[in-house]
Every structure is written in structure tokens, then in C-alpha cells.
Amino acid sequence: MTVQTDRGPVRTVLVTGAGGGLGRAFALGFAARGYRVAVADIDTDGADETARLVKDAGAEGWAGRVDVTDPASTEDLAAQVADFGGGSIDVLVNNAAVYGTVTRSPLEEIDPDEWDLVMGVNLKGPWLMTRAASPHLPEGGRVVNLSSATVYSGSENWAHYVASKGGVIALTRVMAKELGRRGITVNTIAPGFTLTEASKGLLEDAASYGVDRGALRRASQPEDIVGAALYLAGPDSGFVTGQTLVVDGGRQFI
């Protein structure tokens, strides 16, 4: 339910994988726009810290734990966030993913267990979380999924990660058609290499990686991706659905 206050309507957003990195940046970006912000992560300490920062920014904040690969966990989270939101979840940002710990290996050497883990979190997770949130999404609700620009470059030695993020784009299109019947939009953001803590742990030259390939010759910061989420969650994108917005400083033109 969107609540009317002296400051205007307050909408509720749920951001998964918000214990740090890009998820935390999303949470703080929504807080700055006056949203009521629910954050969730399998890392409860990280989620609690993000919720504290949201409150410090002057917004309502709530933190919970979720395992996005577990149907019961996602359903429990969705119910709790709907209660926090006064009966509904206006915006769902499916940000939770396995990324920084993914082993880079030729396709012949990828551990099948790691393949299943990556697919479970990165692809099954957005499906389960959206399925759980669906009963609480009102007409005009928004779902924002996170893919990766690496889907378009086909990054070598990362078949499981790239395939999982490609699947998110395909899943988004189906969700857009099905949820569109209820007036709900579903879109994807595909960030380029962004300087989160996880990214910095992947490469020694993370701060300069790929900068020379971009139209904008600087490294991407988490805050560079936030504007796309705010747009896709906001009123100006009400007739945009099933789309993928690449945010990579012009490293690729799709």
C-alpha cells in the first residue's frame, strides 16, 4: 500500500543482496528518494548495517534474512516485508547473486556443484523471490532484475556466471508478459564491471579494468547504477517493460 504523508506518497521497496556492494547502494539511493526500504541478505550483519544506514539517511528501514534459493525463505521474507509496507511491496529489486566467489575456469573444468550454486542464486533466486512477492505486488508495481553486461561480451572462463545472467534477461521477458496483465512492469539492469568490494577482490587492476574500452573513460562506481533502478521503479518508466538497460559507460553498444 502506498501511504500518503505530508511529504507525499511513500512506496515500499525490497532490495535483496543488500548487505553491501551494489545492493547497499540501491538501498541508500531509494532511501534518498523517500522510499520505505526493506533490505535482505543471507548475511544478517550486513543487512542490519544497511538498514541502519537507511535510517541514518532519514528513511524507514527494515532488515531481514533470506536465502533466495529456498522457497520457504523467500515466502517468509515477502510476507514480512508486506507487513512492513502496510500490506504491499511496491518495488522488488532482485539483486542477490553469487559473484565475487565464482571461480574462473574453462568450461571443461567448472565444478558441477559450483554451476548449480551459481544458477541457484543468480537465476532461480529472482524467480523464487518474484514468485513469493507476486501476491503482494499492486497494480503499478515494479520488478527490477540484475543481469550483467558480460552477457553481451561472453566473458571467457565464466560460463556459469554468464549463462546465469543471460537467463535473467530471458526470465525478465516472460515475467513482463505474465505480470503485465496486472499492470506490473519487469525490467533488467545489466551493469558493466563496477567497483564494489567483490569486484576489487577479483582483479588487482580493478580500478582501471576496461576503462580504455568505454566511451566514458572512468571506472564505474555503485552509485552509477542506482539511477537506472530509480528510473525503472519510478513513474517515468510506467510504459517500459521487458527491457534490459545496459549501464557500462559505453563499453558496449547493444
53-110 pLDDT, tens digit each: 999 999 999 999 999 999 999 999 999 999 999 999 999 999 999 987 888 899 999 9
The catalytic site residues sit at 161
Per domain, the residue ranges of the chain are: 3-193+223-247
Nearest to 165 by CA among 145, 195, 142, 193: 145
Query: Where do we find the cell 542464486?
Result: 121
**Rounded to an integer, what distance in angstroms lies between the CA atom of residue 221 and that of residue 119?**
26
Indicate the burial class of 58 (C-beta count within 10 angstroms; 0-12, 13-18, 19 or more).
exposed
Note the CATH number of domain 3-193+223-247. Answer: 3.40.50.720
Q: Which three cell numbers stand for residue 73?
A: 525463505
114-128 pLDDT, tens digit each: 999 999 999 999 999
Q: Residue 204's pLDDT band (boundaries 50, 70, 90)?
A: low
